[in-house]
């Protein structure tokens, strides 16, 4: 049976819009950044907590957090000497859910094929 995917025709996007979308995906194309986002799904965390949770170095984690914040995916607040980060763009939850769900389905189908 042939595979068909029914979708609405996409709305036209300008070159500028496509460049912004590509930059957003480029920010997410780094495993450490995905690890940080995943760690923040449960809520706001300090840089020290994120270093501990992800196993990265302070400098590396801080650099990736800055990239995510600059892309408006994370919000940042300072309390005394500590800096806290949280997911600022709720669409990140939906995007990760879509991608993870799709990968899970794909892996389950592969497992079924190999089991036969």
Query: For 18-67, how does the pLDDT look when each residue is reduced to its tens digit (9 = 90+)?
Result: 999 899 999 999 999 999 999 999 999 999 999 999 999 999 999 999 99
Give the domain CATH number at 72: 1.10.10.10
pTM of the model: 0.78
Residue 58 resides in a domain? yes
β 74-79/82-87 pair status: antiparallel
- Give me the residues paired with residue 82 across strands: 79
Q: Report if residue 74 sits inside a domain.
A: yes
Say yes or no to pLDDT of 76 above 80.
yes
Is residue 102 included in any domain, yes or no? no
Alpha carbon 14 to its chain's center: 24
Q: How many domains does the chain have?
A: 1
Q: Is the pLDDT of residue 1 over 60?
A: no
Tell me what pLDDT residue 115 has.
77
In a domain, 35, yes or no: yes
The mean predicted confidence, pLDDT, of the chain is 88
Q: Which residue segment(s) compose the domain that 36 sits in?
A: 23-89
CA 76 to each of CA 12, 13, 25, 93, 116: distance values in angstroms, whole numbers, following the listed order: 34, 31, 21, 18, 50
Q: Name the token pair of 65.
A: 């957090």
Residue 18 in any domain: the answer is no
Residue 111 within a domain: no
Sheet holding 74-79, edge to edge: 45-46, 82-87, 74-79
**91-111 tens-digit pLDDT:** 998 888 888 777 777 777 777
**Residue 80 maps to a domain:** yes
For residues 13 and 25, give the distance between their C-alpha atoms in angstroms, rounded to a whole number: 16
């Amino acid at each position: 049976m042939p595979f068909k995917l029914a979708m609405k025709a996409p709305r036209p996007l300008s070159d500028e819009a496509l460049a912004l979308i590509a930059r957003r995906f480029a920010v997410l194309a780094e495993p450490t950044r995905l690890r940080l986002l995943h760690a923040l799904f449960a809520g706001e965390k300090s840089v020290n907590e994120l270093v501990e949770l992800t196993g990265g170095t302070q400098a590396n984690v801080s650099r990736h957090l800055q990239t995510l914040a600059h892309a408006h995916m994370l919000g940042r607040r300072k309390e005394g000497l500590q800096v806290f980060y949280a997911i600022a763009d709720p669409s990140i939850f939906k995007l990760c859910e879509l991608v993870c769900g799709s990968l899970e389905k794909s892996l389950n189908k592969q497992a079924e094929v190999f089991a036969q």
